[in-house]
Amino acid sequence: MIELGDFALLRPLWLLVPPALALVVLATRRRDALGDWRRIVDPALLAVMLRRSASVGAARSDGPLFFSVALIALALCGPAMKMRGAEQFRNLDATLILLDVSRAERLPRTIAAAQFLLERSGARQIGLALYAGDAYLASPLTDDAKSLESLLFAIDERTVPDGGTRPDRALAFARRLLREADIAEADIAIISDGDGLDPRAERLAASLAREGRRVHSVFVSARAGADALEPARRAAMTALAAAGGGRAGDAADPREIAREIEMRGVAHIAEGELRALEWRDYGRFILLLAAAALLLALRGRGA
């Protein structure tokens, strides 16, 4: 799908058909169409036949036929306009980032990972929640990722007043927020060092997965050798993602998480029923024009 404001091509690969056909026609015309007939037919008779064929072919052109094929390809590529009121379908899916701000020394890497995910959020709605001893909404779901990026730089270890770290409360908060927003499907990315993860958090992640939400974990490591508990916490983050049906990644390279979320959004948008709700496909009307042009072209060839 190619989207240009309120205009889109739903199936753009069909645009490759006209140039491909043109190449085939050019290749065919450059070959000697007579082949072995030159050896079988008397040269004088062949010359007369060719002159007669040329006079008949001059009265007929392949232009209308190629024009109708081009129209068919244009129709199949799905030219569409966004329907009025399409914004109401934005709550079909969303991305929610849960940011662990309980440790000041890891906060820069945590924020950097969140910014990376924000930059690649695409057209999906995205929200941001912060947690330490409790969870708070930093930004409601919005399609303006730039506003969230500026908000990230204002976060420090004093932003959340509650001490400790409770990822289970963050996941419960995410569940409540997505339910209230009536989001059909969502990706939740929890960015943390894994501290505080327990069976309650895993059960919540599994419950979210059953509701159509995927929980991804982005592990924020300490400096090399600075935390003896890091292997266990990394394993806990991996287990959380597995329970939530998502992917586990690292804050040092969150590209896999971003790609997973992006692919989920693309696949979701590409579903025919949902796409039909947001876009009006004018391909069927162009097909009528193509059919008329094709009938004229075939009639001219039969004359």
What topology does CATH give the domain 87-273?
A: Rossmann fold (3.40.50)
Encode the chain (303 residues) as per-residue pLDDT tens digits.
787 777 888 888 888 887 887 787 677 665 555 555 666 667 777 676 666 655 444 445 566 777 888 888 888 888 888 776 555 555 567 899 999 999 888 899 999 999 999 888 776 889 999 999 999 999 988 888 888 888 888 888 788 888 889 999 999 999 999 999 888 789 999 999 999 999 999 999 999 999 989 999 999 987 655 677 888 999 999 999 999 999 999 999 999 999 888 876 555 554 444 555 577 888 888 888 888 877 877 776 555
Token pair 């948008």 is found at 269
Nearest CA-CA partner of 108 in 220, 224, 207: 220
Which residues, other chains included, contact 76 with Cβ-Cβ below 8 Å and sequence gap of 6+?
A: 11, 14, 17, 283
In this prediction, residue 56 carries a pLDDT of 42
- pTM, to two decimals: 0.61
d(CA 137, CA 299): 67
Q: What are phi and psi of 218, to 5 degrees?
A: -115, 110
In this prediction, residue 292 carries a pLDDT of 83
d(CA 210, CA 114): 25
Domain-wise residue ranges, the chain: 2-78+282-302, 87-273
Three-state SS across the chain?
A: CEEECCEEECCHHHHHHHHHHHHHHHHHHHCCCCCCHHHHCCHHHHHHHHHHHHHHHHCCCCHHHHHHHHHHHHHHCCEEEECCCHHHHHHHEEEEEEEECCCHHHHHHHHHHHHHHHHCCCCCEEEEEEECCCEEEEEEEECCHHHHHHHHCCCCCCCCCCCCCCHHHHHHHHHHHHHHCCCCEEEEEEEECCCCCCHHHHHHHHHHHHCCEEEEEEECCCCCCCCCCHHHHHHHHHHHHHHCEEEEEECCECHHHHHHHHHHHHHHHHCHHHHHHHEEECHHHHHHHHHHHHHHHHHHHHC
In this prediction, residue 50 carries a pLDDT of 63
Q: What are phi and psi of 7, to 5 degrees?
A: -115, 145
| Widest Cα–Cα separation across the chain | 102
In this prediction, residue 270 carries a pLDDT of 47
